[in-house]
Amino acid sequence: MDNSLRGVTRRHLLASAAALPILAATADGRTISGNLPWSPFAGAPPRPVNPLGWYFFTPVEAATVEAIVERLIPADQLSPSGKECGCAIFIDRQLAGAFGQASRLYTKGPFRQGLPTQGYQGDLAPAGRYRLGLQALNEYTNTTYKKDFRALSAEQQDEVLAGMDGSKIKLNLKPGFSTKEFFELVLQNTMEGFFADPLYGGNKNMAGWKMIGFPGARYDYRDHIDKRNVPYPRGPVSIYGMEG
């Protein structure tokens, strides 16, 4: 082998070849020699959240969300409850980040009434919708039951949530943001927390993945894809390699 090719790996050659069409299209006609202008595996991996404390919710809001996720996913023979699986922690961390501020979405006007399939069309980011919705929920239960939502019995909590879902209960929310939309937002985020990778705060001990037999981030499970109705024999693996 020519000494000039020693140390050049196939991966570097493929990367260089893939860059040729891009380089040919650049206006300044730069010539790149020596090292490539990027580093392999330079992307920053997601960082596990701190499971302690609350980043967005106030203590009252946190207790209310924990009570909600406890009823949306009650503990049974299949899995622990939504609260036990950390769904409220997952939602809290998401609201404290880019999702909560809708930083990747266009949120300017004009605002028009959208179709039900288009979701919320107003100017409130998810963080604002949660803050408004949780306050309105406790105002409703205090008016109706003389208690915060978290202090209601399980049957009363189910009654309230069912009323919100069926649009039989109208919370005092901002025009353009319905009670059912608030319920669906919390329900969607609860499901996400139950099935997301544990590093985001939910799915504690990978209970959601174990319930459905999902292998998680295992490198290869192709030999089991075609085995219908056969439980996956190995436990799930999280992004950071933790096994359940």
Q: What are phi and psi of 156, to 5 degrees?
A: -65, -40
71 occurs within a structural domain? yes
26 occurs within a structural domain? no
1 occurs within a structural domain? no
- Residue 8: the pLDDT is 42
224 occurs within a structural domain? no
45 occurs within a structural domain? no
Question: pTM above 0.75?
Answer: yes
75 occurs within a structural domain? yes
Domain carrying residue 74: 59-212
- Residue 46: the pLDDT is 79
- The DSSP code for 243 is B
Residues of the chain with pLDDT under 70: 1-43
Question: Within 10 Å of residue 234's Cβ, how many Cβ atoms?
Answer: 13
Apex 56 CA angle, 163 and 142, nearest 5: 35
Peptide bond into 110 cis (omega under 30): yes
> Quick one: which H or E segment has residue 208?
helix 207-212
31 occurs within a structural domain? no
Q: Which two tokens stand for residue 127?
A: 């963080």
How many domains does one find in the chain?
A: 1
- Residue 225: the pLDDT is 82
Apex 190 CA angle, 224 and 151, nearest 5: 140
118 occurs within a structural domain? yes
Q: How far apart are CA 12 and CA 186, in angstroms?
A: 46
- Residue 21: the pLDDT is 46
Burial class (CB within 10 angstroms; exposed 0-12, middle 13-18, buried 19+) of 244: middle
